[in-house]
Amino acid sequence: MSTTETKRAEQVAVELSPLPAVVYEPLVRRALDEDLGRAGDLTTEATVPADLNAEADVVARVAGRVAGLDVAAAAFRLLDPSLVWHPRVADGEDVEAGTVLARVAGKARAILTAERTALNFLGHLSGIATATRDIARAVEEVSPGTRVADTRKTLPGLRALQKYAVRTGGGSNHRFALDDAVLIKDNHIALAGSIGTAVAAARARAGHLVKVEVEVDTLEQLEAALAAGADVVLLDNMDLDTLRLAVELTAGRAVTEASGGITPKTAPAIAATGVDLLSIGWLTHSVRNLDVALDVARPA
């Protein structure tokens, strides 16, 4: 392995399993259909000869962590299977501004028509991966055992891709949907009558492999959740002093998760309280895209 390859391998924060194409291809098809509309790409068909071939580079305009290359490639492949995609980096790599992420070659019309769909996915997922990487690194410096996790606050239809991007950034995934874990929140408690009643009902209904988490706002609620046998306690919007007391009170009897308004500036101090997890909704619902572009290299 060359020095460059070794450096790139060291930059990959996690061992990534690629997403199966069956997960993202339907999303890409719908995005292409949305963009093509009723009459196709009027601009490209009017200005680019049908028989012209070209090559184009997908370039990172700013530094960041890459995620979503296979999804971007699918946009080109689904529009024109004859297009050839040459990746230059891999998901999970950190790149500098100006780095060529991939080259696509083939019919010029197809390249330009698929461009926006490919870049939309790649920029969004890379933005999530980059933000996750940055906050996970900040947490790692003060509390190596604390993990950064996402939430279910994902964009409709994109959850699998967004959670993949969080993993690419070195983060952990919270539950994927309503059916893979129990999370008893304040409204459930209000309607059930008490934390103990809600946990007991969940235990009776859920399978033996399903974890039960309870959201608590106070130390009194935390004591009730622990007494009821919660596997995880979500410490919601607690100040730092209360978080420290909550971790001490829990004493390893349950996994502790801090949540509510966590930012890159506040995350290290929250992690230093000793919580096991920081769950952060904005990683998926309002993260800034990584700026990526497509530059035509030359007619082929």
Catalytic residue set: 116, 153, 185, 215, 236
**Cβ distance 16 to 256 under 8 Å?**
no
Q: What angle do CA 159, 288, 77 make, to 5 degrees?
A: 55
Element (H, E) at 245: helix 240-250
What's the rounded Cα separation, in Å, for the pair 230 and 183? 10
Beta pairing, strands 255-259 & 147-149: unpaired
Say which residue the tokens 């993990």 belong to.
147
Residues 6+ apart with CB under 8 A from 113: 35, 36, 40, 41, 44, 79
User: Measured between alpha carbons, how far is 245 from 40 in angstroms, rounded to an integer?
Assistant: 60
Q: Are 57 and 103 in contact (CB under 8 A)?
A: yes
d(CA 88, CA 106): 17
Contact 260, 153 (CB under 8 A): no
